[in-house]
Amino acid sequence: MSSEPSPSGTRELFPVVDATWPAAERRRLGPWTLRRGDGGGNRVSAATLDGEGGGEGGDVAAAEAAMRAWGQVPLFLIRPGDEALDAALAARGYAARDRVVMLSAPTAALAPPDPDPLVIIGDAPLAIMADIWRQGGIGPGRLAVMGRAAGPRAFLLGRTGDRPAGCGFVAVAGEVAMIHALEVAPFARRKGVGVAITRTAARWALGVGATRLTLAVTRANLPARALYARLGTEEVAAYHYRVAPVGASDSG
């Protein structure tokens, strides 16, 4: 597995993230892309530096003010190549949060030859899936994110015997599919449910023309990273967040 994802690899995948896990609103403000999350989590709430001239105090202050106007704590997503911004935010008291790696593999290599009878694919979430997600901390805000994905998408329910045991969401942008919100119920962990959902997602994605399956996982989640390594995924990108200190003003 690569230990140093390239800046270009990271940036090429972020349009896929935006398309398959879309914010409630996205707009430009000078060099920034701002995202309104509406409770959908970090990825749909973080600002990114996507133009020239960002990272200085005044520019950061404008982005902070816009995020606070949305009722959001200022949050910035830091990719390779954003080192100057990372340092500027650290100097302003921003804390690093959630160091993440993106993993990827060819769909053809992940997809099983035959459908898995223990994984159901649907075009909308079942009530039991919402229950499993809720127990894992994935609530209505993130379900709303799934509903906004405009490209091909699927909801997957995995079972252990006849008992619902896990679920996930997969969507496609171009030739890349991305799996999100993979959650396995505590009683079913280490029983192959996550693998079955992932491989079924790859099979579905292959059927709609996606050549690669990608997912994001925190570096600290060693069990998940080990699972995906066994499936043959490779690290292709990395990022982390910087979040404003509690009580900071708009001007920092």
- pLDDT of the residue at 52: 74
Range of the domain at 167: 104-237
For residue 249, tell me if it sits in a domain.
Answer: no
CA distance linking residue 126 with residue 123, whole number of Å: 9
Q: What is the mean pLDDT of the segment spanning 133-151?
A: 96
Q: Are residues 219 and 135 in the same domain?
A: yes
Q: Are residues 88 and 147 in the same domain?
A: no
For residue 217, tell me if it sits in a domain.
Answer: yes
Q: What is the mean pLDDT of the segment spanning 211-217?
A: 96
Q: Are residues 116 and 219 in the same domain?
A: yes
The total number of structural domains that make up the chain: 2
Q: Are 51 and 31 in contact (CB under 8 A)?
A: yes
For residue 127, tell me if it sits in a domain.
Answer: yes
Percent over 90 (pLDDT), the chain: 84
Q: How confident is residue 252, by pLDDT bands cut at 50, 70 and 90?
A: very low
Q: Are residues 145 and 88 in the same domain?
A: no
For residue 216, tell me if it sits in a domain.
Answer: yes
Q: Residue 141 pLDDT > 90, yes or no?
A: yes
30-65: pLDDT as tens digits: 999 999 999 999 999 999 999 876 666 568 999 999
Taken in order 140, 236, 234, 173, is the CA torsion positive or negative? Answer: positive
Q: What is the CATH number of the domain that holds 195?
A: 3.40.630.30
Q: Are residues 112 and 85 in the same domain?
A: no
Q: Are residues 122 and 199 in the same domain?
A: yes
Q: What is the mean pLDDT of the segment spanning 122-129?
A: 96
Q: Are residues 135 and 12 in the same domain?
A: no
Q: Are residues 88 and 108 in the same domain?
A: no
For residue 194, tell me if it sits in a domain.
Answer: yes
Tokens representing residue 62 in the block: 């404008």
Q: Residue 1 pLDDT > 60, yes or no?
A: no
Q: What is the mean pLDDT of the segment spanning 139-154?
A: 96
Q: Are residues 81 and 142 in the same domain?
A: no
Q: Are residues 145 and 217 in the same domain?
A: yes
- Range of weakest confidence among 4-18, 76-90, 158-172: 4-18
For residue 252, tell me if it sits in a domain.
Answer: no
155-209: pLDDT as tens digits: 999 999 889 999 999 999 999 999 999 999 999 998 999 999 999 999 999 999 9
pLDDT, the chain, mean: 91
Q: Are residues 155 and 84 in the same domain?
A: no
